[in-house]
Amino acid sequence: MNITSIAVQVCQMDAMVAFYSEAFNVQFENVDTSGFASKFGNINGILLKFVPIRDEVDFENYPIHQLGFSVPDIEKVIKIALKHGGKIEGNTAVRDPDGNTLELYSE
């Protein structure tokens, strides 16, 4: 059994795509998902789907996700997160531009 895809509802699509592209080298493609302009990218064989929140008012109560990444340079990812509107969350975690927590592990 393997995870093949992860879908994340996003509010700040441009900032999210910029952060994940720069921090994790994800190349996103535009995908129409039932009339919604989504972005799909691949992280080591797992399809990462960014789907826009339908109504920005829903952003207040939408679920926050928590993902974990092994990275060669934790400090570099933290700096990139801050650059794109993220926040530091403990010693080895950051929040992405939409507020999701990302656990960072050394490779």
- Number of domains, the chain: 1
**Residue of higher predicted confidence among 91 and 5:** 5
- Give the domain CATH number at 68: 3.10.180.10
**pLDDT tens sequence across 18-75:** 999 999 999 999 999 988 899 999 999 999 999 998 666 666 666 678 888 999 999 9
DSSP for 51-103?
Answer: EE-SSGGGGGGSPPPEEEEEES-HHHHHHHHHHTT-EE-SSSEEE-TT--EEE
Domain, as residue range, for 96: 5-56+64-106
**Residue of higher predicted confidence among 95 and 57:** 95
Q: Which residue has the tokens 């990302």?
A: 102
Average pLDDT over residues 72-89: 93
Q: Which residue has the tokens 């998902």?
A: 33
Q: Which DSSP category does 20 fall into? A: H
